[in-house]
Amino acid sequence: MKSKPASKKPTRLSARHDKLRLKLEQFSEACAAASPWRVLGLGRATWTRHVRDPRTVPTYIVRSIEAHLRLLALGSRGQAAFSDLVLRATASNRLIGTEDEQLPLDL
């Protein structure tokens, strides 16, 4: 017996994937000058594949995009405050431990 060929209908994305597609579009617009794939450290082909089919986007990329969008939403004053907080936390961590233990922190 011959089996029926698979249907070529486009599949409907779930609500989660619709939200992800919206985030991808927002991120693309926000990072248009710097190329969104470069901001994430991806190749252009990989980025294009993820934009076409949001079901292929790994969780670490989704989290990175969400973090970038949250930072953009803070505005310039919020970004400066966040940067100061990170710098202070990094500086305080470098003072902890012996010189041998500090080496990995400097890397």
Determine the average pLDDT of the residues in 84-103.
65
Residue 82 confidence (pLDDT): 81
Q: Are 39 and 72 in contact (CB under 8 A)?
A: no
Global pTM value: 0.63
Measure the CA–CA gap between 27 and 30, rounded to whole angstroms.
Answer: 5
Contact 11, 54 (CB under 8 A): no
Using pLDDT thresholds of 50, 70 and 90, give the confidence band for residue 106: very low
Tokens of 75: 């505005």
pLDDT tens by residue, 37-84: 888 889 999 999 998 988 889 999 999 999 889 888 888 888 888 888
Rounded to the nearest integer, the mean pLDDT of the chain is: 79
